[in-house]
């Protein structure tokens, strides 16, 4: 019995030391803790990237005092626009000023100097996270417009435990601990890798791993995804409702990926057989179209603007460093497409009606 107690005491001491160490420095720290989003305010990331055509070799990625990418808010800025979404909005591996929200912000700034646009995208952010971000941070800023690119990270997603609103004492203690959240973060990273949604640089798409799937396997995977669509629609509906209640005009942007049931314009490689997680590119593209259609149908029913970037951005591997994330050129072209839609459809009247102060 004494030996058992000594072993328990030793294990407890080791865990306590590990917990203390993780509170000081945690290499697997999450931006979501205690049911809230923790933004990396006033943070600069400086990285040397492996050579990849379309990306800079030196990365400088800066977060401002809000924890977003972009300029600080000035009292003179009377047109406020915030872009939201996941990693395809944050554009982590693109230098400051080259992420598509920054490029879009520069174009809007030229038309309307008293404008302010920030990039509130967050790697891995699903509609659950977008809702939490909206409630916790964005509403307080009182933006005039939110441009939301979403859907990709909702594939096969059940309600994540890190947004549990249970505020019991036991839950608070659990959320305070670093060890459980670290285990969850490592597990979550593994699931993202399994799904093929994390950053995986593809140097030569013609030599990328492939996966053949017969029609019955594709159909079965699409059928399985149907059960997640209603929840996704409910979340973007709540997002839109909060925007309306706070006099924020919402613009949806359909997510665009390289994967498709067609050939790459640059290399002539068939994109449908490329392996992405445990499915192929054709299946991934079909699933994304399901989410984009849910977004489009909802937007149309509520008369909310919808920009179909997925239909307009060419399937060209020069625009993506993997199947999902933009290169510098991809970001530039995407921003141009979104800007053209905003201007041609008068989605932000302040910059098209000559109301520039």
Q: What is the pTM of this model?
A: 0.85
pLDDT > 70: what percent of the chain?
Answer: 78
Question: What domains are there in the chain, each with its CATH number?
Answer: 28-352 (3.40.50.1110)
Neighbours of 74 (CB within 10 A): 9
pLDDT over 70 (residue 137):
yes
Res. 22: pLDDT tops 70: no
Task: Give the pLDDT of residue 197.
Answer: 47
Q: What is the mean pLDDT of residues 29-38?
A: 69
Instruction: Tell me if 65 sits within 8 A of 137, measured CB to CB.
Output: no
Confidence category of residue 147, pLDDT binned at 50, 70, 90: very high
Q: What was the pLDDT predicted at 83?
A: 98
Q: pLDDT-based confidence at 23, cuts 50/70/90?
A: very low
Averaged pLDDT, 102-116 = 97
The pLDDT value given to residue 189: 46
Q: How confident is the model at residue 308 (pLDDT cuts 50, 70, 90)?
A: very high
Share of the chain above pLDDT 90, in %: 72
């Amino acid at each position: 019995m004494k030996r058992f107690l000594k072993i328990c005491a030793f294990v407890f001491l080791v865990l306590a030391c590990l917990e203390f160490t993780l509170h000081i420095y945690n290499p697997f720290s999450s931006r979501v803790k205690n049911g809230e989003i923790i933004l990396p305010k006033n943070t600069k990331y400086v990285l040397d990237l492996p050579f990849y055509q379309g990306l800079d070799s030196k990365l400088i990625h800066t977060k401002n005092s809000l924890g977003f990418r972009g300029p600080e808010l000035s009292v003179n800025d009377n047109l406020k626009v915030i872009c939201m979404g996941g990693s395809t909005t944050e554009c982590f591996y693109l230098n400051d000023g080259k992420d598509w929200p920054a490029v879009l912000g520069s174009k809007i700034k030229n038309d309307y100097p008293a404008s302010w646009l920030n990039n509130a995208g967050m790697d891995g952010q699903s509609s659950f996270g977008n809702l939490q971000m909206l409630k916790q941070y964005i509403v307080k800023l009182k933006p005039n417009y939110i441009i939301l690119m979403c859907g990709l990270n909702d594939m096969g997603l059940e309600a994540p435990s890190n947004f549990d609103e249970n505020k019991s004492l036991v839950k608070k203690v659990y959320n305070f601990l670093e060890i459980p959240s670290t285990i969850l973060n490592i597990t979550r990273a593994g699931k993202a890798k399994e799904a093929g949604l994390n950053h995986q640089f593809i140097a030569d798409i013609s030599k990328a791993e492939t996966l053949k799937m017969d029609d019955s396997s594709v159909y079965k995977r699409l059928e399985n995804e149907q059960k997640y669509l209603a929840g996704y629609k409910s979340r973007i509906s709540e997002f839109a409702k909060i925007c309306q209640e706070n006099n924020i005009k919402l613009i949806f942007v359909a997510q665009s990926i390289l994967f498709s049931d067609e050939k790459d314009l640059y290399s002539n490689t068939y994109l449908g057989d490329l392996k992405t997680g445990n499915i192929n590119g054709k299946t991934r593209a079909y699933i994304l179209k399901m989410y984009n259609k849910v977004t489009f149908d909802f937007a149309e029913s509520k008369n909310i603007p919808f920009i179909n970037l997925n239909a307009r951005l060419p399937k060209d591997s020069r625009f993506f460093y993997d199947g999902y994330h933009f290169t510098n050129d991809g970001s530039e072209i995407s921003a141009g497409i979104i800007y053209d839609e905003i201007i041609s459809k008068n989605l932000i009247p302040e910059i098209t009606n000559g109301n520039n102060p």
